[in-house]
Structure 1
Amino acid sequence: MPRLLVLLLALVGVLYPFAVYFGMEHLSPRLFALLLGGLWLVRSLSSLGKPGNRWMSLCALAFCLLLGLLDEPALLRWYPVLVSGLLLALFSLSLRFGPPLVERMARLSEPELPEVAVRYTRRVTQVWALFFLLNGMAVIALALWAPLSWWTLYTGLISYALMGLLFAVEWLVRQRVRRFA
């Protein structure tokens, strides 16, 4: 996938909660559906043949279609739930049908992983799957019961801070594991 598209999708993901917060009263959910759907369609077409691309894109495009047809502002809060669910499925399915996603990424830089590293990457994949499960549950609760400002704060800032913290802790643990391996 072209780097510009990857960057654009990441930027849209980060800015999405703030766009919902500031645009919910002024922009139609159909406009959000059109923009998100267009990005997912481009992502899908530029990533043909990559694992998980087809089903993830179909889920996202189905959500965008539903959002566009219903034109319901409350549905805008459910996009981060969809993303967490897709990532949970991606990590979980890689555990079931292997190799685990983190192992695949590790093998890009180190093709011959020792057995201790393979076990470690499996555990890290499990941790990420658990993170996306808990994150999705938090976003569901916020979408159902919290004010829009709380939902925006969590989905636009806190969840990314938690991901960054998990990345940092995992990196520290990995350095320790490498030292003793």
Structure 2
Amino acid sequence: MQIRTIHPTDYLAVDLLIRAAFTPTAFGYGNEAELVEKIRLSKEYIPELELVAVKNQMIVGHGLLSEVSLVHEKDQTIGLVLAPLAISPDTQKQGIGSQLMHELEARAQQLNYPFISILGHPDYYTKFGYVPAEYYLVKAPFDVPTEAFMIKSLTKDGLKKRPGMIQYPSAFNE
């Protein structure tokens, strides 16, 4: 299997993958493919942080990190948010999501981002070191279960003395 940066020729396959991955879940499909399209058109999009997993010449996984702001009074820190991480239903539980997460985090560290925030399943993301964001006094701008809104520092002091609220780009609100 290969993890690589997405190519524009992959967009249709990724759209179909995202729909297939989220439709059978407990929460169902929530316009994640449309969110990806909006993020790609935003200034918060970093092409090197959109990855695909390819197995037998088929795209079986996708992950996207984009910029968010952590705001406290007049202080603002730019970090990242994972949205979404999607694995083809017939290849789940094979470590593809883990490989995508590790590569996304490595690239984010190379680009000197201090943190990644996630709204997701705590049983899955805690194994990568994500903790409830409230641990760092970081809040979501909307009501969300505390255990599902998580964050991970990518640097030694990535979240020290940085309480505040995550502000998502407009792509998340449209």
Same fold (TM over 0.5): no
More helix by share: 1
Which structure is larger by alpha-carbon Rg, 1 or 2?
Answer: 1
TM-score by length of 1: 0.30
Provide TM-score, normalisation by structure 2.
0.31
